[in-house]
Amino acid sequence: MRILIDLDNVLVDFQSGIDACSDDIKADRAARKRRGLTEDWDEVEGIFALMQPMPGAIEAYQELTKRHDVFIVSTAPWENPSAWSDKLIWVKTHLDKFADKRLILTHHKYLIAGDILIDDRRKRGAGAFKGYHIHFGTDACPDWETALQLVYDVM
């Protein structure tokens, strides 16, 4: 089976990147929010390099690679060029040989062929994905233990 896995809030704890930002960046984002603007955390340069793995994500990813063709499919913010390289560096740092040349960055996930997509959202083409979508971070799939069980149930 070909399994596609999203990065943000699936393999990567996005909030950990926010928490690791400098006080100046946090103050700037708070000021934007007070002015009625979006906080746009994903557009903060370097934020993706600060993020930590979701609990159980690394072990689950490695487990899936033992029996399946696994790719990481993620969207990088168009207005944040560092996000593209930071996501690659994150994958190399945390998944190393298990994800060598297995990162696909796209704004159109439905174009990537696969049997299962594990994603926390239905945006960026995830909602139009032709295979089975495991909606990570929901009541039906709150964590990686459940995600693995759902993958095995689909098989």
**Catalytic-role residue among 8, 86, 119, 120:** 8
Q: Report the pLDDT value the prediction gives residue 128, as an integer from 0 to 100.
A: 66
Q: What is the pLDDT of residue 109?
A: 86
Domains and CATH numbers, the chain: 2-13+52-154 (3.40.50.1000)
Query: Which is nearest to 152 in space by CA: 59, 60, 53?
Result: 60
The whole-model pTM stands at: 0.90
The confidence score (pLDDT) of residue 22 equals 96
DSSP per-residue letters across 106-146: -S-GGGS--SEEEES-STTTGGG-SSEEEETTBTTB-SHHH
42 is catalytic: no
pLDDT digits (tens, 9 = 90+) for 108-137: 888 888 999 999 976 665 566 778 889 999
Of 6, 42, 119, 120, the catalytic one is 6
Low-confidence ranges of the chain (pLDDT < 70): 122-128
Q: Is 6 labeled as catalytic in the residue annotation?
A: yes
